[in-house]
Chain A
Amino acid sequence: MVSKALNKKFDRIKAREEYGIEPKRVRSRALRKLLSNRLAVVGLIIFSIITLASIFAPLLTQWDPGKINLRAMLQPPSAEHWFGTDKTGRDVFARVLYGGRVSILVGLGSALLSAIVGVSIGLYAGYRGGWFDTVTLRISELFMAFPQIILVLMLVSIVGQSLFNLIIIFVVSGWGAMYRLARARMLSLREEEYVQALQSFGLSTARICYKHVLPNTLGPIMVNITLTTAMFILAEAGLSFLGLGVPLSIPTWGNILNVAQDIRVLQNNWWMWLPVGAIISLFVLSVNFIGDGLRDSADPNLQG
């Protein structure tokens, strides 16, 4: 005996099978699963909209994000200024669009760089073993022992604030996780027969690592890149909010939020911080949806 709802569902499936109607099928199994995950599709759509809006910012707004206009200070949202203006009369909507460029660049760029660094070292170390493996493993452990934001802030205080520095710092703090993932995958794949067959053919280490094993590790790595992107976007927002991330002269989502540290702005000028905060949340949410969808589609054990 099963619940009524399930009974109905079962009857429907059975009836359909008996009429010989088969559900439509997309060719790639992974893609099919990703597309059948409604949340992942929603995530993909939101992600594309926000990213495209940032890239094509000049087409979407006539305002210059840095242009100070003292005659239009602290205006609430209107048809002219969709998200209002800030203390120096800059258009907040334009700043959010242009800020998105930097924030997404920092998030996605740092995640990709971390993956490139971490995966290339990790695969090599996992395959070769020996002293190289031991040393890199210990180094990654050292970096991963720090709570991330503390490591990042410590490095910021040493090397100083700039966009470039921030990306490098994110990579320093983020490569360890990718390294470990790639190394662990390599350790298990190394024992697979196809890798041993390649060895017996006398292929070079680099070729085995990056040409033959890398494609088989891409699933979990892709998932990790999306989740790391989300994490870095949150980190950039947090740091810039504190005034310690990207220099304030460059608009980023975090820098726009910086004004909310002032309690008067917080109370009276909601348009200066609430919309951008919501957009950060929405963007990170969409990235997380995509990451979850990727994870499910990469996992052969889960059935949709």
Chain B
Amino acid sequence: MPSDTALTVRNLKTYFYNNNRCNKAVNGVSFSIRRGKTLCIVGESGCGKSVTASSIMQLLPELSRIEEGNIVYHAKTGDVHIERLERNSDEMRSLRGAEIAMIFQDPMTALNPAYTIGFQIGETLKYHTAMSASEIRTRSLELLRDMGISLPEQRIDEYPHQYSGGMRQRAMIAMAMACNPKILIADEPTTALDVTIQAQIFELMDNLKVEYKTAIMLITHDMGVVAELADEVAVMYMGNIVESGTVDDVLRRPQHPYTQALLDSIPVLGRGKQQKIKAISGSTPDAYDRPVGCQFAPRCEKATIACNEMPLDTSITTSHTVRCWHPRDGAP
């Protein structure tokens, strides 16, 4: 295992048990996150990308569990098997916020309306460090300033509803970065924000990566974001990672038909109105009634009888892996 790997996920399976049915939301996912790199997990809604993030944080809803696989956090003191920890045990809690932090999609609902921003940032510091109240305040002010919030002395005592959308997400990031976590998981952090604000938030996250060597796991459905921010990409479809590799591998030499279809469905600026945008045919299957083999087979143009069996992960290059019987550059 290379020493800069912060977290390794191996064959993770997380199932949901709502309405007396079993939904195999994440069904065998493997990847690793490296220090100072951004891994983008991309896929349409319901493909299991958020569930993967929640599994790492052990923040899954009550009616769900991790069935199989490992989530290993490579701490300085040795490896920690997150999947073996109790959901809200002391060990799990000492990881959350301090070692692995997470920010969410909608900063309005993710911040508690009843408390000031300062209080909510301070909380993290209070539980993970031995700082005194005044040190906490100084550090909180510093964090807000670092995240680009003007007039932090005044803003620190304000409530979330007094912040604008972009500032709320900055405050969320300040909260997440309070204890200098090794890993930052961002679950569609800009979906609820204006496009102009989005760029600012991404810039901020890129800085964090360089400055603090934070490993970032960014969950998104936006290929544009991937192109801009990612070092590595994992494409998810129906609970599986269908293709993964460096951003160059996946965006320039997509192997899986789903990845290709995703890339074909994006309009490109400057190509004018004549450009062909290809929509993916069919619709996402019912989560309770999944295809037997390759999950994408029913919508795939290249599907053959072989696709009734789940494909194996195949290495195209050392960094590039695809899970398909018929990758673009030849059969495995």
Given A9-B17, A13-B17, are A2 and B65 neighbors across the interface (CB < 8 Å)?
yes
Tell me whether B15 and A304 are in contact (CB under 8 A).
no
Complex interface bits, B16-48 against A, C-beta within 8 A gives 1, otherwise 0: 011111100000000000000000000000000
Q: Please choose the segment from B79-87, B267-275, B314-322 that sits at the chain A interface, where 4 or more of its residues have CB less than 8 A away.
A: B79-87
Does B63 have its Cβ within 8 Å of any Cβ on chain A?
yes
Complex interface bits, A197-217 against B, C-beta within 8 A gives 1, otherwise 0: 000000000000000000000
Query: Which residues on A sit within 8 Å (CB–CB) of B21?
Result: 13, 17, 23
Query: Which residues on B sit within 8 Å (CB–CB) of A23?
Result: 20-21
Given A1-B84, A6-B62, A6-B65, are A14 and B15 neighbors across the interface (CB < 8 Å)?
yes
Complex interface bits, B68-106 against A, C-beta within 8 A gives 1, otherwise 0: 000000000000000011110000000000000000000
Query: Which residues on A sit within 8 Å (CB–CB) of B18?
Result: 303
Tell me whether A13 and B84 are in contact (CB under 8 A).
no
9 extra interface residue pairs, beta carbon distance < 8 Å, beyond A1-B85, A2-B65, A17-B21:
A1-B65, A1-B84, A6-B17, A6-B62, A7-B65, A10-B17, A13-B17, A14-B17, A303-B19
Tell me whether A10 and B15 are in contact (CB under 8 A).
yes
Complex interface bits, B171-193 against A, C-beta within 8 A gives 1, otherwise 0: 00000000000000000000000
Query: Which residues on B sit within 8 Å (CB–CB) of A6?
Result: 17, 62-63, 65
Query: Which residues on A sit within 8 Å (CB–CB) of B86?
Result: 1
Complex interface bits, A116-146 against B, C-beta within 8 A gives 1, otherwise 0: 0000000000000000000000000000000
Tell me whether B22 and A2 are in contact (CB under 8 A).
no
Query: Which residues on A sit within 8 Å (CB–CB) of B84?
Result: 1
CB contacts under 8 Å to A, within B86-144, are 86-87
Size bin of chain A's contact surface: 10 to 19
Tell me whether B87 and A13 are in contact (CB under 8 A).
no
Give Cα A17–Cα B87 distance, bound, in whole angstroms.
26
Most chain B CB within 10 A, of A6, A13, A23, A304, is at A13
Interface residues of A (CB under 8 A from B): 1-2, 6-7, 9-10, 13-14, 17, 23, 303-304
Query: Which residues on B sit within 8 Å (CB–CB) of A303?
Result: 18-19
Size bin of chain B's contact surface: 10 to 19
Give Cα A1–Cα B87 distance, bound, in whole angstroms.
6
Tell me whether A13 and B20 are in contact (CB under 8 A).
yes
Tell me whether A17 and B22 are in contact (CB under 8 A).
yes
A-B pair number, CB within 8 angstroms = 32
Tell me whether A304 and B19 are in contact (CB under 8 A).
yes
- Would you give the shortest CB distance from B22 to chain A, in whole angstroms? 5
Give Cα A2–Cα B84 distance, bound, in whole angstroms.
11
Query: Which residues on A sit within 8 Å (CB–CB) of B19?
Result: 303-304
- Would you give the shortest CB distance from A101 to chain B, in whole angstroms? 42
Give Cα A13–Cα B17 distance, bound, in whole angstroms.
8
Give Cα A48–Cα B62 distance, bound, in whole angstroms.
37
- Would you give the shortest CB distance from B51 to chain A, in whole angstroms? 15
User: Closest 7 A-B residue pairs measured CB to CB?
Assistant: A17-B22, A1-B86, A2-B65, A10-B17, A14-B22, A13-B22, A13-B17
Give Cα A304–Cα B21 distance, bound, in whole angstroms.
11
Give Cα A13–Cα B24 distance, bound, in whole angstroms.
12
- Would you give the shortest CB distance from B244 to chain A, in whole angstroms? 28
CB closest residue in chain A, given B65: A2
Give Cα A23–Cα B18 distance, bound, in whole angstroms.
13
Give Cα A23–Cα B21 distance, bound, in whole angstroms.
9
Give Cα A260–Cα B62 distance, bound, in whole angstroms.
50
Question: Could you pull out 7 A-B pairs where Cβ atoms are within 8 angstroms?
Answer: A1-B86, A2-B62, A2-B65, A2-B87, A10-B22, A13-B21, A303-B19
Give Cα A6–Cα B17 distance, bound, in whole angstroms.
10
- Would you give the shortest CB distance from A296 to chain B, in whole angstroms? 13
Query: Which residues on B sit within 8 Å (CB–CB) of A304?
Result: 19
Query: Which residues on A sit within 8 Å (CB–CB) of B15?
Result: 10, 14
CB closest residue in chain B, given A14: B22
Query: Which residues on A sit within 8 Å (CB–CB) of B62?
Result: 2, 6
Most chain A CB within 10 A, of B17, B18, B84, B85, is at B17
Give Cα A241–Cα B296 distance, bound, in whole angstroms.
70
CB closest residue in chain A, given B60: A2
CB closest residue in chain B, given A304: B19
Query: Which residues on A sit within 8 Å (CB–CB) of B85?
Result: 1
Give Cα A13–Cα B21 distance, bound, in whole angstroms.
6
- Would you give the shortest CB distance from B90 to chain A, in whole angstroms? 13
- Would you give the shortest CB distance from A146 to chain B, in whole angstroms? 34
Query: Which residues on A sit within 8 Å (CB–CB) of B63?
Result: 6
- Would you give the shortest CB distance from A12 to chain B, in whole angstroms? 9
Give Cα A301–Cα B266 distance, bound, in whole angstroms.
33
Give Cα A25–Cα B29 distance, bound, in whole angstroms.
33
Give Cα A23–Cα B15 distance, bound, in whole angstroms.
18
- Would you give the shortest CB distance from A110 to chain B, in whole angstroms? 38
- Would you give the shortest CB distance from B256 to chain A, in whole angstroms? 27
- Would you give the shortest CB distance from A28 to chain B, in whole angstroms? 16
Give Cα A95–Cα B17 distance, bound, in whole angstroms.
51
Most chain B CB within 10 A, of A1, A6, A10, A23, is at A1
Query: Which residues on B sit within 8 Å (CB–CB) of A10?
Result: 15, 17, 22, 65
CB closest residue in chain A, given B19: A303
Query: Which residues on B sit within 8 Å (CB–CB) of A1?
Result: 65, 84-87
CB closest residue in chain B, given A15: B22
Give Cα A14–Cα B18 distance, bound, in whole angstroms.
12
Query: Which residues on A sit within 8 Å (CB–CB) of B22?
Result: 10, 13-14, 17
Give Cα A244–Cα B21 distance, bound, in whole angstroms.
55
- Would you give the shortest CB distance from A11 to chain B, in whole angstroms? 10
